[in-house]
Amino acid sequence: MEFVSKINLTSSTNNKETFLDILNPKGAEIILGETISSSFISPVSPSPSTMFGPRGACLISEDGPLWVCDTGHHRLLGWKYRPEKDNQAADWVIGQPDFYHEGQNAKSNVQANTLNVPTGICHFEEGLIVADAWNHRVLIWHKMPSNNNAKADIVLGQNNFNENESNQGNLTTAANKMHWPYGVMYFQGRLFVADTGNRRILVWNKLPTKNGQPADYVLGQSNMNLRDENGGKDPNSSSLRWPHALTIWNNNLVVTDAGNNRIMIWDGIPTNSNTPCSFVLGQNNFRDTELNKGNYFPSSNSLSMPYGIAVIDKWLISADTANSRLIGWNNKPVIGQLAKGLTGQSDFKIKNENRFYGKSSRDSLNWPYGITTCKNTAVISDSGNNRILLWRL
């Protein structure tokens, strides 16, 4: 089905580009967290209806549940059903003794139900997967949590639930170690982890069944023991600097390489280590890495720290974080392809937080870090505004 969206037609005299609104131009249907905020992120006291810099969220089905990584409060918030009103209180919390406490690992020892900067989140069949970034691990629940402080069943990146050192306390890494894993994706039986601090993607051919299980292959490095930026070489079609999120578009793997200010697209799903990608978006070639292609203002084919990525129907949508916008492509990519869709700004050449550095609105964004989709709903982690947006097409 082709999208029928409002087309913003502009004249050549004001030097604007025509674009399609990716999401409903009226703005988000539901806002969770801050309903009105300024352009500058500030701490928010924890409660069942507040968040501080959320970076990940996952709507499991059209009716719910919804799970959110309330990153700054070091916890997960869960809604049993899809929220129906703004600022609706969460039903469950994982990572803190109650809704009114915060702190890394609940200001105690790391355990199977504590968190330290949770970021990426996804579901698989009946379970849930969370990137617990600053505990340098990924947590897996076999069944979708349905109560407070449910304990995870499997931990990856560590040997057990009570350890949390980066690369298990070593300067080098390995197939069973992690350093700041920010993104997770489950697709057709495979688990993909953006092991961001090790500048690589780890892949398990089957969902791991035991603690500390090593990955089967790696992207971004020539072997499992290396962790240099861009593989210790100049940027190229197989290197990574700051991988953050993953999705599948037209059966092709897509990764946001935020540190290189680009999106990498493979031809199909790579099954061997260090497979090069086929295309990049946001740069003109595989070597360039500057944000907004070296310009202060963005364009329809530039990116500035793109952290999030998702797909709705034919659209590939990036949370172009430092440009405070969503941009989208709806045709077969080539290197440096121009985006056709835009949300959060009135023009491709604008990057202001909340459009004009003012208070947030239903259709504005402030450093959005994450985006996932469920049917015709985009779930946006609008981190700079301390909120989650449920925004329909």
**pLDDT value for 41:** 59
Domains and CATH numbers, the chain: 28-392 (2.120.10.30)
Six-digit token string for 236: 């190229």
Element of type H or E holding 125: none
**pLDDT value for 36:** 67
Average pLDDT, the chain: 93
- Average pLDDT of span 151-166: 98
Find the Cα–Cα–Cα–Cα dihedral 143, 145, 147, 148, rounded to 10°. Answer: 130
Structure confidence at residue 6 as a pLDDT band (50, 70, 90)? very low
pLDDT above 70 for 190:
yes
Residues 6+ apart with CB under 8 A from 91: 78, 79, 80
**pLDDT value for 40:** 57
332 DSSP 8-state letter: -
DSSP 3-state of 260:
helix
**pLDDT value for 297:** 97
CA-based radius of gyration for the chain? 20
**pLDDT value for 8:** 42
**pLDDT value for 336:** 86
- Of 104-108, 218-222, 323-327, 357-361, least confident by mean pLDDT is 357-361
**pLDDT value for 197:** 98
- Of 43-47, 288-292, 303-307, 386-390, least confident by mean pLDDT is 43-47
Nearest Cα neighbor of 133 from 196, 185, 76 is: 196
Do the Cβ atoms of 215 and 194 come closer than 8 Å?
no
pLDDT above 90 for 14:
no
